[in-house]
Structure 1
Amino acid sequence: MRIFDPHIHMTSRTTDDYEAMHAAGVRAVVEPSFWLGQPRTSPASFLDYFDSLLGWEPFRAAQHGIAHHCALALNPKEANDPRCVPVLDELPRYLVKDQVVAVGEIGYDSMTPAEDVALARQLQLAADHGLPALVHTPHRDKLAGLRRTLDVVRESALPEDRVLIDHLNETTVKEAADSGCWLGFSVYPDTKMDERRTVELLRAHGTDRLLVNSAADWGRSDPLKTRGVGDLMLGEGFTEDDVDRVLWRNPVAFYGLSGRLNLEPASADATDPGATHQGNSVLRGGE
């Protein structure tokens, strides 16, 4: 089983996770921009973070045979902080980088006017740079959030078939599917979707334009949930081709819209035990 996790926050994960992911079949990931966990105090904090998504994380992933790409953005939660908003002026010089395959994650957290502005502006940036967009739907008032999201997408210059609407569930999947956008399901241990609910939605809605991700971060999450969905699909009568479509070919097709997707790990030399990135490695002491 080959797996492409289209939404995972590897900055918050350990080397052990990379090893376990590779053993489970993960060969490619996209890491979208995420909030820090505590308030950022300036755009400079984003720039160091963006640089790590373009350098250190692809190196770390390549050490375990995993191709790493990223999506860059001002995320919805931090769009409400005036100290963070100026990073929108810095994004264009990052969105031209080869390993950036989307603008994201953007969308809504609390559905504020500030989030309206950030979403519209970043959809325009995606259109300007020929990139697709990964859109986060809010954890509260999900149907209202989806409808508000789709209104902004339809008003933008970015076509619906270049937008992935993520964190969908049973209440939002039909309207999202009817919109022409791609569909994303985040599978968590005890929130959002679980494996069985995801498989039931696959049975009801088919496998076209549908992506499954772990969205794993520093909270209670599991980077192997994609494999769990694949195993359950097979156990519930889906074919190996169905599983490959959902867990590999669909994310390849969506992020391939960027024209930048490279499914080879970042560096052929990264698996050398002595390899470093800008002089740094995860090795310590006498390792």
Structure 2
Amino acid sequence: MFIDAHAHMISRTTDDYQAMAAAGVVALIEPSFWVGQPRTYVGSYVDYLSHIVGFERFRASQFGIRHYCTIGLNSKEANNEELAEGVMDILPGFALKEGVVAIGEIGYDEQTPLEDKYFRAQLELAKELDLPVMVHTPHRDKKKGTIKSMEVCLEHGLDPTKVVIDHNNEETIEDVLDRGFWAAFSIYPSTKMGNVRMVELLKKYGGDQVILDSATDWGISDPLAVPKTAQLARERGVSEDAIKKATYANALAAYGQSGQMSESDWADGISVDQTRLHEGNSVLRGGREPVIGDVRPDANKLIIE
């Protein structure tokens, strides 16, 4: 069984849900994020957050996957101060909804003063609500931004065991592990971290404090990145204990601290009933026969790229 701890499924198709379930993904976490087109007013944020706590949770269930999410103002849109102020007003209400496991993904992009302001405000919200935090580390000046993110978290009194630092790479992993934070890695082709590179890190550092995710979104990305990396790690001699920690147990431990995510959510099997409706809508089209019953994972034929 696998948990994909960072997957933007609003950008993906139902085929992806089917493939993930077949590969053994029993649960995933969908962080709120920048959708590519900048949002211009707070109402668009309300609709977006409503979607990931509502319909997307339902859609995943129709293909045998438990769906959780994180709520936050992303770093890119924190630079629109009028929008950011409006979003901060609505976040507490969404953060208390069922299935929300963290405040995130938040942090730095260009490391501007406004990004810093709203990162700090959201850390305080996480403290107030006693929720974990998912931190987005910047694509540019990554090491500097990663260290700054951790320093700010500590400055605000957050326990490192409740903070997941995401999008790590070879130059940041030691800093994150040494400070006691969860070190997450997005297995995102050609940019953040590849399968082979990740396996080498698992060989060197083991699975303690490490979380793998796909960060699959509207870009060139792979919703099967976690099970594929697990398979490659197994083939290359990484221990089963390290693989289980990095692809399942650590995500559960980190985000389970929210009280919203538990192994009991799927331990007794995942039953699908495609006759169910969400606000009158079905995932089925064209008179398709509904699937009713258990989804059984089979990850024997994954292709490693």
- With the shorter chain as reference, the TM-score category is over 0.9
TM-score norm. by structure 2 comes to 0.90
Q: Is the 8 A contact 1:226 1:247 kept in 2?
A: yes
Deviation at 1:270, TM superposition (A): 7.9
Q: How many residues align?
A: 284
Residue 294 of structure 2: aligned partner: none
Q: Which amino acid aligns with 1:99?
A: G
Contact map agreement 1:165 1:181 (CA 8 A) in 2? yes
Q: Secondary structure at the match of 2:93?
A: helix
Q: What residue in structure 2 maps to residue 63 of structure 1?
A: 62
For residue 110 of structure 2, give the secondary structure of its aligned residue in structure 1.
Answer: coil
Task: Name stretches of at least 5 consecutive residues in structure 2 with no aligned partner.
Answer: 289-305
1:148: how far off?
A: 1.5
**Distance in 2 between residues matched to 1:149 and 1:270, nearest whole Å:** 40
Which residue does the alignment assign to 2:77? 78
Q: Distance in 2 between matches of 1:195 and 1:270?
A: 31
Is residue 212 of structure 1 aligned with residue 212 of structure 2? yes
In structure 2, what is the equivalent of residue 140 of structure 1? Answer: 140
Structure 1 equivalent of residue 299 of structure 2: none
Cα distance in structure 2, aligned partners of 1:242 and 1:204: 11
Asked whether the 8 Å contact 1:72–1:105 carries over to 2, the reply is yes
Structure 1 SS opposite 2:272:
coil
Asked if the contact 1:40–1:83 (Cα under 8 Å) also holds between the matched residues in 2, the reply is no
Please state whether the residue corresponding to 1:90 is helix, strand or coil: helix
Q: Output aligned runs, 1:38-187, within 5 Å.
A: 38-85=37-84, 86-187=86-187
For the 8 Å contact 1:32–1:70, the answer to whether it is kept is yes
Secondary structure of 1:261's partner?
A: coil
Question: 1:179–1:247: structure 2 CA closer, same or farther, 3 Å change rule?
Answer: same
Q: Decide whether the 8 Å contact of 1:80 with 1:114 is kept in 2.
A: yes
SS, match of residue 258 in structure 2 = coil
Structure 1's 262 and 57: CA in aligned 2 closer, same or farther, altered over 3 A? farther
Q: 2:270 & 2:163 partners in 1: Cα distance?
A: 34
- Distance in 2 separating the partners of 1:188 and 1:104: 19
Whether the 8 Å contact between 2:252 and 2:262 is mirrored in structure 1 is no
Superposed displacement of residue 269, structure 1? 11
Please tell me whether the aligned partners of residues 64 and 270 of structure 2 are also in contact (alpha carbons under 8 angstroms). no
TM alignment of 1:203-282, pairs within 5 A: 203-263=203-263, 264=265, 271-282=272-283
Q: How large is the RMSD of aligned CA atoms in angstroms?
A: 1.5
| 2-structure distance, mates of 1:269, 1:183 | 29
Counterpart of 2:27 in 1: which secondary structure?
strand
Secondary structure of the residue that 1:168 maps to in structure 2? coil
TM-score (norm 1): 0.95
Identity %: 48
